[in-house]
Each structure stands twice: as C-alpha cells, then as structure tokens.
Amino acid sequence: MHARYEPEGETFNVVILGVGFLLIFTAFTTCGNIEQTVVKSLENDTFTGSGYHSLGIIYGVFSFSNLLSPTVVAVIGPKITMFLSGILYSGYIAVFIIPSTWSFYLTSVLIGIGAAMLWTAQGHFLVENSEASTINRNTGVFWALLQCSMLFGNLYIYFDWNGSTEISGRVTLNKYLTACHPCSAGLELSFYSGVYGTCIGATTQFGAAAKGLIGISGIVVGAGEIVGGGFFGLLCKNNRFRRTSVVFLGMVVHFIAFYLIFLNIPDDAPVVFKSSTQNSPYLTPSVSIAMLCSFLLGLGDSCFNTQLYSILGRVYAEQSTPAFAIFKFIQSIFAAVAFFYSGYILLTWQLLLMVILGFTGTLCFFMVERMQNFSVDFQEY
C-alpha cells in the first residue's frame, strides 16, 4: 500500500488563512483591549459611548447572526464571506479616527454581523483543508498565527502610552459541548480581551506606568496563546488521552490566574470610570504577578480553543459550518452578557462566575469526549 501524502496546497491555505486573521485581529484585538480606557479618556462632551457596551453589542449581534451565517457561507462560499467580513472590521476600526456615538454603535452592530460570517467561514475553510490526521496540526498553525496579532498592536500601545495618565483623542456537537464549554469560553474571552487590561490600567498602585501596561499585558496574553497553540496544536498527537489532558490543564492554569488576579488587582478596578481604583487588594499590586496572570490567561485559553476546534473538526467533519456556527453563537452570547455586566460588577464576583462555569464546562467536555470515544469503539466493534 502506498503512503498517502497531504496536498501541499492545503497547508499553504491554512497558513494564508492564519496570516489573514493575523492582520485583521492585530487591529481589532488591540482595539478591544484598550477600548474602554480610550473611551473614558475622550475629552468630548458630545461622545457618550461606552467601550463595554460596544463590545457587548458586538458579541450580542455576533451570537444571533450565527443563526444565519451557515446559509451565507453556503451561498457565497467561505472565501468571499471572509473578504466581505474583513471590510466590516476595517470600518469599525476607522470609527476611532473621529469618534461619534452613533457611528460607534452602528459599526458595533455591523462588525457583530461580520464576525459571525467570518468565524463560520473560517471553521468551514479550515476543516475543508484538513483531514482527521492533520486537523490538530492545522488548528495549531492557525491559532499560533492568529494570536501573533496580540503582539504587534499591543507593542505599539506600550511604547505610545507608557507614562501617560490620560489618553488623548488621537488614539482611538454534542449538546453538552455546544451548551456548556462555549459559555465559559465566552466569559473568559470578554475578560482577557477587554476587562483585564482595563483593570490593569485603572490600578492606582501602578502609577504612571498603568496605561502602558495595558499594551504589555496584551502582548503577554498573546505570547501565552502562541505558546499554547504551538505546543498543544503542533506537538501533541490527535489522540483521546491528550485532548482531555490539555483541557484539564487549561482549567487549572485559568484557576491559578484567577486566584492571583483576585489577590493582586483591586476589587473595584472594572467599575471605576473617571478615576483610578480606591480599594486595595490583598497583596501589594505587582506588575510581575499581573503579567504572569496575562500569560496564564492566554495559555489557558489556547488549551481550550485548540482542543475545541480539534474535536469539532473531527466529530462534525461533514457538518462543520453549522457546528462552528453553534459554537460561536453560544460563546458570543455569553461574551456579550459579560461585557455588559463588567462595568457594574466587582472583580471578585466576575472571577467567581468564571471559575464555576470553567469547571462545569470542563466536566462537560470530558463527558462529550467519553461519549465520542464510546461511539467510535462501538462502530469499530
């Protein structure tokens, strides 16, 4: 029997996909990380927008747009869908050149629609260019390239904002799997992509360096994502034991990060708007601990996402478009809810909620994996 070789074009397509997402999310991820901080610093009495509300709108529209995205992808194809979605992302970023409340919220709605189309098309395209033997590797390649986006934009934020106290206006599946784990993933997405950076920037004890640390935090989160995506996606073989082990590791890493954040960051950091924090945490706030937590947040997130994409691509190889749409639908609903409550609930309660849902989601992943293994063994028998 002759060995079967994977077409080189499939690997090339996955790399191009990753580079494209790298470019798009260099702008969007950086924007989301600093959005609330920028909005708070705008010296414009006519602008009444909220960064948290904008992100909440994005993920709320994102969630419901996933109900239509499989149809759009099926009709016009994944490539054209991703191209048109990229245009909507560009429009949202352009709003920060001359901010106005109406355009800020309008483009939030539009990018929510574009995000649903983009990620559904991405899942379809990735599975289309993968096989059972390459889905884990291709997911790792894509994820590592995507998370490089957190390095470049946030590096600029650090150099431009370091030492600033104010930001001027110029800087602007199975039912268990699809119902539980995406819930915790949505809360954690909102936390590391928008809330945690804002908390660091609002911490009084970090002084004049606080705003610049938002950029460094984003870079370190990206480093954690890249390390996790590269290691777990590329080096781990696609077998049953390692997939559940990686998800369990992700849960433990996130729990450690949440506990350190609880000790290191003031409880009122997410809810202060015009001033810095007034409360004091259990420990004297440490930049080193804050950056360690950023890395752990990225590492834990990559543990979850590489394995979720892997199991979705393998179990639903013939129905990848609706499977990824359902996953993103649930994830984005919870991300939207989290962004809306983030400006009103103290940090302790936000962390506790993520711990509860993270533990529940991990248990559900184990149940799904066990059921899938049983199904495969039964078919082989």
- Rounded mean pLDDT for each run of 10 residues along the chain, 381 residues in total: 51 88 85 76 69 84 88 92 91 80 88 92 88 78 81 73 59 46 71 84 85 86 85 60 79 94 90 72 90 92 81 71 74 79 87 89 78 56 46
Amino acid, res. 367: M
d(CA 154, CA 235): 28
A 10 A CB-CB count for 139 gives 27
The predicted pLDDT at position 176 comes to 40
User: Contacts for 165-170 with beta carbons within 8 Å, 24 or more apart?
Assistant: 165/208, 165/211, 166/41, 167/34, 167/37, 167/38, 167/41, 167/211, 168/41, 168/43, 169/41, 169/42, 169/43, 169/44, 169/99
Domains and CATH numbers, the chain: 12-380 (1.20.1250.20)
Look-up: residue for tokens 């590492």? Answer: 299
The model's pTM is 0.66
